[in-house]
Every structure is written in C-alpha cells, then in structure tokens.
Amino acid sequence: MRFHIEHTTEYRYSAPATESFSELRLRPRESLRQKVSRHYTRVQPAVLVESHTDYFGNYVETVSIPFRHPSLVVTSVCDVETKELPDVLDAVDLSVSEARQLYTPNRRVLHDFLRPSTFIQFTPGVLELAGEFLRPSDAFAPSLRALNEHLFRSLKYRPGVTDAGTTVEQFLIAREGVCQDFAHLMISVCRAAGIPARYISGYIETDPIPDPEGGTEGTALIGATASHAWLEVYSPNGYWVGLDPTNNCLEGERHVQIGVGRDYADVPPLKGIFQGSHAQTLSVQVRVTRHESTERPSPEAAETPRS
C-alpha cells in the first residue's frame, strides 16, 4: 500500500520564546517492508533543519531557533509504500527455552532489548504474565500469539485515562489505556521471559480497506491516527517480527514504522526545550491517506503473501 502522510505539530507560547531547540523523529524508516519515496520537513519560523541517524537507526532532524518567536510549527510530509511480508513467526518450531539458547551468540547486540528501561519494568504483575504465557517449555510462536490475544481481550483500549508517563503496573491496575501502554506491557513480559523485544512508534490506517466494488474488506483497526505503537520481538531465525496487541494482529501493510527503541522515551515524535515563556499549548494534526494511484490487483494477478 502507498500512503501520503502529513503530520503538523504546533507549539504556541503564552509569551514569545526567546529561543528553542527541538528534536524530530517523523520520517518513516527504510526497511524490507517499507520504502519512503518522498519526505520533507517545513518549519515556521523558517530555519535550517539538520539531520542525523541515532543509536537505533532512526532518522532524526534537529531544529534550533535562536531568536524570539511566538510559536513553532513543524510540518512533516512524506509518501511511503508498505508491503506484506511472509509470516516468519510460523516457521519457528522451537520452545521458549530453545529460542533463548539461540539468542546467546547475539546477546551483545540484543542487550538493550532484554533489559528493563525507562518504561519497561519487571514488576510482579509482569512476572506473573511471563510465567503464565512464556514458560520455558512452551512453544515459542504460539505462546507469543496467545499473549498478544490475551492482552487484547483482557485490557481495554480507552484514550484519555493514561498519559505518556503511565507505568506498566499502573496500566495493569487500571486495565485500560492506549496503544503505548499495550506495547510497553507486552515488551515487559517478553523481556522478563528472556525474549528480546523493542518498541515501535508510527502510524496506522484504522479504517477498513476500501473494496473496488464499493464495499469494504477486512476490519477496522484500533488506534489513534496521530500516532500508534506496537512492538517487535526478535525471532531465532534472525527476523524482527511485529506484533500489535492493541489489535491482536501481526504488523501488516497498514502499519507505517517511524521509530524503533527500547520504549517510548527513545522515540517521541517531537521533543525539545524553550526559553522565555512560562506556558505553551500543543496541537497535533495527522492525516494518513491512501495514495490515489494505488491499485489493488485482481485476485488472478495477486500474489499471496501472508502478514
């Protein structure tokens, strides 16, 4: 699928800021499953936008405004194509214990995704879930799918009841929250069981897929248009596999990856500091639209990849 994405963030200050510095993670990643054909960032007031790649391979832009300004508006525009890949998780016929043994040669590379981090904690509730769904003798792939489904069915997606600082334990007590909470919890459970897992930030197309004959195909997905979060686990066959517990599905062509990290603290879309004002208001607008020229092939011509 090809998507056109426009993401606008506006900070308006109660009094003009004398200077500000911002770090942006808004450009989709390049990978086997997605390709960016166009991307640009527009900043008001107009200043130079510099870029670099961070420790996790994310594309990062930096904006420095060293003069007085009443507001900051950042608009990121991109065209990205996603594709479905074969379900490599089904090819893993191993137990959790056997999978953990195969991680040993790569433990240095996987270290960051096996340990606690800012939002990933091995609390009693997390350890209980790990002991229930990811026991050493359990089958690796079916257990991950069962955990994904359990979180989807036992916890409620409800915007507004949690915030960016909500902990895993608070989410387990409240039993309702947003995609960030679902992702942090499942990552915590996987890491507690010795399975490398990392946080993914991005976008999701939530509406059902339009049917050429006027109806719809598939189901609507849960998530906020402005942002979505899920996770990837490292499979013993060498692939990172995306799982979305908010929707009880694998990552598919309706997911667009932006950032990869240990948890949300590594990949906020925009963060920064400013001087000279005591308060600010934030507004975010995101539009994810399917590219008009995208054509769905006929059943006879289509290949049959699995998500």
pLDDT of residue 180 exceeding 90, the answer is yes
Domains and CATH numbers, the chain: 2-80+268-290 (2.60.40.2250), 88-252 (3.10.620.30)
Condensed to tens digits (0 to 9), the pLDDT of residues 11-55 reads 999 999 999 999 999 999 999 899 999 999 999 999 999 999 999
Confidence of residue 208 (pLDDT cuts 50, 70, 90): low
Quote the CA–CA distance of 194 and 215 in Å, as a whole number: 44
Q: How far lies 92's CA from each of 36, 194, 238, in Å? A: 30, 16, 11
The pLDDT value given to residue 295 = 44
Q: What is the mean pLDDT of residues 68-74?
A: 95
Percent of the chain with pLDDT over 70: 89
Written as one letter, the residue type at 278 is H
pLDDT at residue number 106: 93
pLDDT tens string 246-278: 999 999 999 999 999 999 999 999 999 999 877
Mean pLDDT of 112-133: 97
Pairing of strands 228-234, 197-204: antiparallel
Q: pLDDT by residue (tens digit) across 151-174? A: 999 999 999 899 888 999 999 999
Instruction: Please tell me the predicted confidence (pLDDT) of residue 217.
Output: 53
* Percent of the residues in the chain that have a pLDDT greater than 90, as a whole number: 78
Least confident residue range of 220-229, 257-266, 287-296 = 287-296
**Rounded Cα distance, 81 and 242, in Å:** 17
Name the token pair of 17.
């800021």
Contact yes or no for 242/200 (Cβ under 8 A): yes
Nearest to 204 by CA among 222, 189, 219: 222
How far is the C-alpha of 240 from the C-alpha of 1, rounded, in Å? 21
State the average pLDDT over residues 173-199.
97
Token pair, residue 6, equals 């426009």
Q: How confident is the model at residue 301 (pLDDT cuts 50, 70, 90)?
A: very low
DSSP for the chain? -EEEEEEEEEEEEEEEESEEEEEE--SPPPBTTEEEEEEEEEEES---EEEEE-TTS-EEEEEEE-S-EEEEEEEEEEEEEE-----GGGG---BHHHHHHHHGGGHHHHGGGTS--SS----HHHHHHHHHH--TTSBHHHHHHHHHHHHHHHSEE-TTS--TT--HHHHHHH-EE-HHHHHHHHHHHHHHTT--EEEEEEEE--SPEEPTTSSEES----SBTTBEEEEEEE-TTS-EEEEETTTTEE--TTEEEEEEESSGGG--SEEEEEES-S-EEEEEEEEEEE-TT--PPPTTT------
CA angle 159, 163, 165 (to 5 degrees): 155
Output the average pLDDT for the chain: 89
**68 or 223, higher pLDDT:** 68
